[in-house]
Structure 1
């Protein structure tokens, strides 16, 4: 890999880590509102599928090995295998998927469509199923706790990340 690519990837890891600190809890849900959706979508939209996968796996390793990089400054295997762990693991799937599907053109509409209708839906599915299993609740309960309250905010975050990605991709052209 070139130094430019490694630098972009390092900055993306830092952005994901920082975005986890921009968080606040909801009293009725174990899931926090964070800026991670923006960061994950941004990573997927500015990097290649391979690069975005590596960035997220390194981010997860940082958290598993004790650095406080998960939502609200938490870390450890307990967080990864807790009620919200499915969302963290879902990042590992949606970033290369979004990155692959974004195409070659720097298109806001395409980015927005992919992040909302593929990225968020896949993340919601993975996170909800994981939460349902870990919390031993129905899938409807998991959706009520971890998806429904976040949909409007996540759509806004998809708009924001798509907008930023279009601007960044213009600047970062090879």
Structure 2
């Protein structure tokens, strides 16, 4: 009887497979989270998009995160219903929520830079620093989204701030904590 010894498999898939899969995966996760709505007082629902965007930044880093969010936006612009309420098309990017969507992309390189800067001696981020990076992601999204909302709708500044940011602060705090916890359990970006 003859026995054959099989060569051991590599425990990790090659980066040529993993990286594109992560880019596509986080774009699809963001699309899924856009459809999950939580009603808030005042009639403007909160979605879980920014949870996916912050988790993307923490788990795959600024470069891949930027590619992922660009893919997400391109899918929406192409007409796929990946934005909130299953909407898609170029008009969504230019309406009242367009600034937030642009912020998804622009927040990723900043998160990547903070990730590189704030690693400890072992190359890891502390949980507190992950929370600060997730806060920065949200701050960038709102810093672009609120002025865009004001211009697109003609709202007064105070109204745009309230309806475009303030009412989302409690949910944002929860999403910051959740994205940091997800990243600490599943793995941090190796930016």
Q: Using structure 1 for the length normalisation, give the TM-score.
A: 0.89
1:13 aligns with 2:27: yes
Alpha-carbon shift at residue 106 of structure 1 (Å)? 3.2
Q: Can you give the 5+ residue segments of structure 2 that lack an aligned partner in the other structure?
A: 1-14
Aligned length: 170
In the alignment, which residue of structure 1 is the partner of 2:129?
A: 110
What is the CA–CA distance in structure 1 between the aligned matches of 2:86 and 2:18, rounded to whole Å?
29
Alpha-carbon shift at residue 65 of structure 1 (Å)? 0.7
For the 8 Å contact 2:63–2:108, the answer to whether it is kept is no
In the alignment, which residue of structure 1 is the partner of 2:146?
A: 128
2:156 pairs with one of 134, 138, 143: 138
For the 8 Å contact 1:23–1:32, the answer to whether it is kept is yes
For the 8 Å contact 2:61–2:111, the answer to whether it is kept is no
1:98 pairs with one of 84, 88, 111: 111
What is the CA–CA distance in structure 2 between the aligned matches of 1:83 and 1:4, rounded to whole Å?
35
Alpha-carbon shift at residue 24 of structure 1 (Å)? 4.1
Of structures 1 and 2, the larger Rg is shown by: 2
Q: Using structure 2 for the length normalisation, give the TM-score.
A: 0.82
1:39 aligns with 2:61: no
Alpha-carbon shift at residue 132 of structure 1 (Å)? 0.8
Q: Secondary structure at the match of 2:85?
A: coil
Q: Can you give the 5+ residue segments of structure 1 that lack an aligned partner in the other structure?
A: none
> What is the RMSD of the two structures over their aligned residues, measured on CA atoms?
1.9
